[in-house]
């Protein structure tokens, strides 16, 4: 039975997978991308979409785990604050929380508010007048930027610190204290870092300090 070339071509156009399936019989090496059937092409597109969705899901789960871990750290930090009854205990709770929950050892904490006569405050927490003047200009967390010289002098000189967090502890729009943290990694406190959680942490430190300084009625 004879069949003309036009019919062969027509058949192969309508059934491109036939040539792919019988290529070995004719010693052919067809280019797969040109003979894939519509169904095969569609399956490949679906597979790529599925792989992309799986990758996105893995990233979402990783982000959720990271957020859960971060929230647990902030909660543990706040629980330390709930147990304090003196300014010395407050100072110790912050020190231990920074070190144990966040692995932050290089920091300076200074109280800039007026101290009532009947409240005992460790001398290491008392701020000089120049620190008080600087603190008045801080109204929100500042990340990444190098602190002014006076604040930088409060931090350890070794190791070399490359990024910083300047955190005012505000109570009723008044700066009660200032916390400056340094890190060896220049990207740890990036300028575009979200500060919602550290702001909440600062608020909690401030309200406890306000109570200890007899400012909460």
| CATH no. for 86-212 | 3.30.450.40
For residues 31 and 9, give the distance between their C-alpha atoms in angstroms, rounded to a whole number.
17
Report pLDDT digits (tens) over 1-26.
456 777 777 777 777 676 666 666 66
pTM as predicted = 0.70
Pinpoint the residues of the chain covered by CATH 3.30.450.40.
Answer: 86-212
Would you state the pLDDT for residue 93?
Answer: 97
CA neighbor of 182 nearest in space, from 101, 120, 114, 106: 106
Task: Please report the pLDDT score of residue 66 as a whole number.
Answer: 64
What's the pLDDT score for residue 74?
87
Residue 113 near residue 177, CB atoms below 8 Å? yes
pLDDT, position 159: 85
CA distances from 28 to 20, 36, 115 (A): 9, 15, 91
**Cα–Cα nearest to 163, from 138, 139, 189, 137:** 189
Which pLDDT does position 217 carry in this prediction? 60
Where the chain has pLDDT below 70, the residues are 1-3, 16, 18-42, 61-68, 216-217
27 torsion bin: left (phi>0), alpha (psi -120 to 50), beta (else): left
Whether cis (ω within 30° of 0) applies to the bond prior to 159 is yes
């Amino acid at each position: 039975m004879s069949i003309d070339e036009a019919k062969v071509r027509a058949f192969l156009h309508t059934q491109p997978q036939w040539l792919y399936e019988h290529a070995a019989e004719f010693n052919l090496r067809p280019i797969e991308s040109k003979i894939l059937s519509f169904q095969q092409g569609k399956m490949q597109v679906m597979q790529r979409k599925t792989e992309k969705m799986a990758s996105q899901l893995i990233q979402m789960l990783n982000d959720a785990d990271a957020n859960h871990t971060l929230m647990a750290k902030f909660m543990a930090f706040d629980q330390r604050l709930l147990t304090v009854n003196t300014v010395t205990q407050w100072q110790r709770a912050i020190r231990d929380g920074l070190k144990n929950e966040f692995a932050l050892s290089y920091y300076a904490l200074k109280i800039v508010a007026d101290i009532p006569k009947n409240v005992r405050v460790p001398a290491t927490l008392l701020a000089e007048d120049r620190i008080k003047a600087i603190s008045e200009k801080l109204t929100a967390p500042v990340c990444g930027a190098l602190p002014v010289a006076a604040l930088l002098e409060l931090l350890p000189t070794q190791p070399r610190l490359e990024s910083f967090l300047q955190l005012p502890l505000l109570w009723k729009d008044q700066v009660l204290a200032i916390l400056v943290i340094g890190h060896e990694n220049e990207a740890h406190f990036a300028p575009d870092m979200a500060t919602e959680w550290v702001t909440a942490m600062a608020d909690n430190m401030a309200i406890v300090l306000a109570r200890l300084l007899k400012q909460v009625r």
